Chains A and B, each alone.
Chain A
Amino acid sequence: MNKYTQWFDERLPIFSFMDKQLANKPTPKNLNYMWNFGSLAGVCLMLQIITGIFLAMHYKADVNLAFDSVQHIMRNVEWGWLIRNMHMVGASFFFIVVYIHIFRGLYYGSYKSPREVLWWMGIIILFLMMATAFIGYVLPWGQMSYWGATVITNLLSVIPFVGESIVVWLWGGYNVGDPTLNRFFALHYLLPFVIVGVVFLHLWALWTSKSNNPVGIDLKKQTDWIPFHPYYTIKDMFGLGVFLIPFTFMVFFLPDYLGHTDNYIPADPLKTPAHIVPEWYFLPFYAILRAIPHKLLGVVAMVASIAILFVLPWLDRSKVRSANFRPIYRQMFWIFLVNVFVLGWVGAKPPEGHYVIIGQVSTTLYFLFFLSLPWVSKFEKTKPLPTSL
């Protein structure tokens, strides 16, 4: 540090903080590529915020202007098409990255002591992301925007006694309309910054309890640790490159592939689309919602399917973190993962015929994974753990 940065650092220790928590942060030397997705998620968040701010400069949150303003961005705003495609594809890729990040945590037991609060912050981020993405999809004010908003906000009406009033309060009227769009825009601008705040708490918890690692043991030997920079900065850079290739491909060649064509039809409250489907990243949860024939219980199950992650550290009583040393949990993990894909597939199908049955079986399997863990972790014979790397 030269004398000017030193002078500054004595008054506001940004530089020594960055040195301690980023550059020279002791990090396990055996992290595999699954550990790239945390920093990638951070990149995605930044990308969404930056492209989003530029979109907000040209977007108009008014039911009569919103659809046109998106077309204005695509056609007349300099590089507007690129910024919007990045934002649109970016939302999907953000979810891909975050889902992989979560499944990595599940596989390697990153939710276990002492990282429970770190895990909690992650779940809160997921909930906030879902809210932000859902609200964001309403803004272009196409048919799927309008009808998706109508279906999903209506779910709140199942809350006993106050449900109906809450929905009216949320809409700002008696149906999804101009006040809804306007406040959704305000919230869509606000929530990402709330996410940034929780991400900071997530990182703070990470700096406190340090990274988990693929072996899942507490590293005691000095030589098991290496500084974050340059080892993981360069590895993350490489990971970023690998991420950006499919991302760029989608942005430039298939920007609308992950969206729905109906959203290029302006919202029409008088005409219901043949199938109302949410964005792909909501499909597994949508399948759980529809698997239960009772409306209130369906909503409860859908919320519970994510909220149950909060208590996962106590459902799983095994002291061993990494699934590599847990033969039964490892099998369960893979079944659970495949089952989530099945749920996603069912969520995209109309709720009829054998899809209903498959959805119900999958939903049962989903919750069985969590509810069986207390017993599994009690009786499972784990493999012997090494004492260092």
Chain B
Amino acid sequence: MKKLFIALSLSLLVAQSGHAAGGAIDVPKGEWSFVGPKAHWDTMEILRGYEVATQVCLACHGFKYFSHRNLTEIGLTEEQTKALAAKMDMDVNAKLLSGLTEEDGKDAYGLVVPDLSVMAKARPNGVDYLKALLLGYEDAPEGFDVGNGHYNKYFPGHIIAMPNPLSDDIITYMDGTPATVEQMAHDVSAFIAFTSEPELVKRQNLGIYVLIYLLIFTALTYALKNAIWRDIKKKS
């Protein structure tokens, strides 16, 4: 009976994944430095993503939960974060907001342009979806009417209001990396993963130690339990 309960609880967790991702289109799974047993932020990758975000996305999208100060989390010094903020004429604590007002956004695209700072948590498949979306612009299949929108093979319903924002060399990376669409899509998705969950890396790294602690704790209590119960077991 016990085993069955465990099996059923697990199957419940598995069933849930189907429920959470229900209706979503399958997207290619990427390799990310911030997921897995050796999770870390790739400083240069996040910084390149920051460049794409501030030079491309920010034209329309805000990042209201992000301020330059947060970049200390990926290994920048406070001086460096201040220098980056100063380059944009911003205070290091100011929210990164778009110049596009809600009204202008509505006029141009027919909807409120979403803030991107928790976007990696707000869509099924998170960071993989963001990257796939940025690489998913294609010509619409014959006879598929996109109206005022644009065709994207990963967007639910395939009609997205946002025009393809990236093209090769639309920006120049400070570190000299060639700014291909693929590279920029990857970097900016990583950046959004960072702004969505600044605690992501810390959380996973700490989790390993907590689990090790609990495994030892549980093994010890098991041994203690057997020792205490020995006389009862013997009698019966």
Contact = CB atoms under 8 A, between A and B. Distances in A.
Given A248-B214, A261-B124, A348-B18, A237 B221 contact: yes
Contacts of A349: 22
Contacts of A244: 214, 218
Interface string A214-250: 0000000001001000110011011011101100110
Nearest to A30: B236
A379 interface: no
> How many A residues touch the partner, as a band?
35 or more
A348 B229 contact: no
B224 to A, nearest CB: 6
B23 A274 contact: yes
B232 interface: yes
Interface stretch (A157-165, A252-260, A356-364): A252-260
B215 interface: yes
A242 B207 CA distance: 16
A277 interface: yes
A230 B207 contact: no
A96 interface: yes
B19 A280 contact: yes
Contact of B123 (A107, A231, A261): A261
Nearest to A242: B218
Contacts of B206: 252
A253 B122 CA distance: 17
Nearest to B21: A261
A107 B5 CA distance: 12
A81 B22 contact: no
Contact of B221 (A238, A248, A251, A274): A238
A275 interface: yes
A341 interface: yes
B198 interface: yes
Given A33-B2, A257-B16, A341-B11, A75 B198 contact: yes
A274 B23 CA distance: 9
A107 B210 contact: no
Counting chain B CB atoms within 10 Å of each CB, the highest count among A34, A252, A256, A344 belongs to A252
A170 interface: no
Contact of A74 (B16, B199, B218): B199
B228 interface: yes
A38 B9 CA distance: 17
Given A33-B2, A234-B228, A257-B20, A241 B121 contact: no
Contacts, number: 124
B12 A344 contact: yes
> How many B residues touch the partner, as a band?
35 or more
B18 to A, nearest CB: 7
A237 B227 CA distance: 14
Contacts of A348: 15, 18-19, 22
A323 B155 CA distance: 52
B144 interface: no
A270 B75 CA distance: 41
B8 interface: yes
Contacts of A277: 19, 22
Given A261-B20, A275-B23, A75 B65 contact: yes
Contact of B1 (A34, A252, A264, A275): A34
A230 B16 contact: no
Contacts of B203: 81-82, 85, 252-253, 255
Contacts of A33: 2
B19 A337 contact: no
Given A248-B210, A261-B126, 12 more contacts: A103-B5, A230-B228, A234-B221, A234-B224, A234-B228, A235-B225, A275-B22, A277-B19, A280-B15, A341-B11, A348-B19, A389-B236
27 contacts: A29-B236, A34-B1, A34-B2, A34-B5, A75-B65, A75-B70, A81-B203, A85-B203, A230-B228, A234-B229, A237-B221, A241-B222, A244-B214, A244-B218, A248-B211, A249-B207, A252-B204, A252-B208, A252-B210, A258-B16, A261-B121, A265-B114, A265-B122, A274-B156, A337-B8, A348-B22, A389-B236
Interface of A: 29, 32-34, 71, 74-75, 81-82, 85, 96, 100, 103, 107, 223, 226, 230-231, 234-235, 237-238, 240-242, 244-245, 248-249, 251-253, 255-262, 264-265, 274-275, 277, 280, 283, 337, 341, 344-345, 348-349, 389
Interface of B: 1-2, 5, 8-9, 11-13, 15-20, 22-23, 65, 70, 114, 118, 121-124, 126, 156, 197-199, 203-204, 206-208, 210-211, 214-215, 217-218, 221-222, 224-225, 228-229, 232, 235-236
The 8 closest A-B pairs by CB, nearest first: A252-B207, A241-B218, A264-B122, A348-B19, A238-B221, A264-B121, A81-B199, A234-B225
